[in-house]
Amino acid sequence: MTTIHHALVLNLHQPPGNLEHLLAENEWEAREILFAYDRIARTLWDYADVGRAHLSLSGTLLETLSSPDFQAQVYGTVDCGAMLWHWQNERIIEVLGTGYYHPVLPLIPEADRAEHLSRWLGIGKHLLWRPRFNGFWPPEMGFSMELIPLLQQFGYRYVIVDSDHLEPVTPMRWEELRYRPHVARYGDAEITVIVRDRELSDAQEAGMEFGWFANELAERTKWCDFPPLVTTCTDGENGGWFRNTTAGANFWSCFYRELMESARHDGDVQPIFISDYLRHHGAHGEVTVRAGAWNTGWHHGRDFLQWTGSEAQKAALARLETVSAAVHGARDGTEGSDCVGIGATERLDEAYWRLLRAETSCNFYWGEEWVHRCHDDLNAAEDALRHGAEAGSPP
């Protein structure tokens, strides 16, 4: 039987200040999240010969975990410095690039997208000690074809997209479309597309037994006349399946250890890094990707409805465009602003990072509950442009 290659992808993200807030208001939940992070490398260590995982780490999460004050606060629970060091292990972990403040990139002003990618590369290269990142994780898997030139510009070789939004340009069968990498083109730019299997990812999020997973992969790939790549992507710290601290009752100590034991004894399902698969097998065929995100507990991801469904969400997104234009105008000197003279540079920096933080996807994810956070940062950005914010420098 043909080996089934499995790429495990986990998205790890915390909104700005969220872990600090949980420590003060719900300490056990914060500890569960930190334990979920800490289990990743600890589990993979025991299976360094076969274990492989891809991690997307938002800039705001890396910012928190690398903060000396936060590290001191949680030292008795998790050693964050050691954990960040262990995530540098390229034998067991392939880190994916992403956007610093975890924005749904197609929904924010085009002028701000490159800065999210640039700032993430700054902290990613600094903390994770590697010169480049091959793959890109679009926050919330929010992707549209016009992002391709930007990703190519930043040196990314591949991007992960959801299977529900894929359309073949080259004629291909269902199993070819889902279990092979493809090329997507926008103008003169192109990138390799890695396809997330939506149904298997839902199972990974909810909790599954390895025996069921192996049988399901065998059925789904039985007509493949090529080495199939099955990619499953979920959050890595949300839900009881990942947070459960009982040995043998969570993703790592139950499902993944069984997968590792099977792989170690030449089982049909073998973990692999996406970069390694591409190096050995390449990409085949061309596709286009409809604009959309991954499915959430409420929506299918098409048209970004989770983040744009209410009038309050739409109004906040529209205001992002207005404030972004004002910030960029002030930075470029094309619009009037009070940001002149002593402290002007600091005030412009304050306005810019407040704008970028306002674009955090979580500000829109929870319906109207967190939209005020977007407006709070936009108010601060406008205040910095008009009068200068109270002393505060970008993280």
User: Residue 35 above 70 pLDDT?
Assistant: yes
SS3 298: coil
- Which bin fits 297, alpha (ψ -120 to 50), beta or left (φ > 0)? alpha
pLDDT for residue 388: 52
- Of 163-177, 214-228, 300-314, least confident by mean pLDDT is 300-314
pLDDT for residue 389: 38
- Please give the backbone phi and psi of residue 136, each rounded to the nearest 5 degrees, phi first: -125, 135
- Label residue 298 by pLDDT band (50, 70, 90): confident
User: Residue 341 above 80 pLDDT?
Assistant: no
| Mean of pLDDT values over 11-20 | 96
How confident is the model over 44-86, as pLDDT tens digits? Answer: 999 999 999 999 999 999 999 999 999 999 999 999 999 999 9
pLDDT for residue 333: 74
How confident is the model over 133-143, as pLDDT tens digits? Answer: 999 999 999 99
| Mean of pLDDT values over 227-250 | 96
Rounded Cα gap, residues 243 and 234, in angstroms? 13
- Tokens 């590369």, located at residue: 121
Rounded Cα gap, residues 233 and 249, in angstroms? 20
- Label residue 1 by pLDDT band (50, 70, 90): low
Cβ neighbours for 361, distance < 8 A, ≥ 6 positions apart: 102, 103, 104, 139, 140, 142, 307
User: Residue 340 above 90 pLDDT?
Assistant: no
CA angle 61, 66, 71 (to 5 degrees): 105
pLDDT for residue 395: 41
Query: Which residues pair with residue 183 across a beta bridge?
Result: 192, 286
User: Residue 391 above 50 pLDDT?
Assistant: no
Contact 152, 192 (CB under 8 A): no
How much of the chain, in percent, has pLDDT values that exceed 70? 95
- What amino acid occupies position 173? R
Rounded Cα gap, residues 127 and 125, in angstroms? 6
How confident is the model over 77-121, as pLDDT tens digits? Answer: 999 999 999 999 999 999 999 999 999 999 999 999 999 999 999
How confident is the model over 181-225, as pLDDT tens digits? Answer: 999 999 999 999 999 999 999 999 999 999 999 999 999 999 999
How confident is the model over 249-277, as pLDDT tens digits? Answer: 999 999 999 999 999 999 999 999 999 99
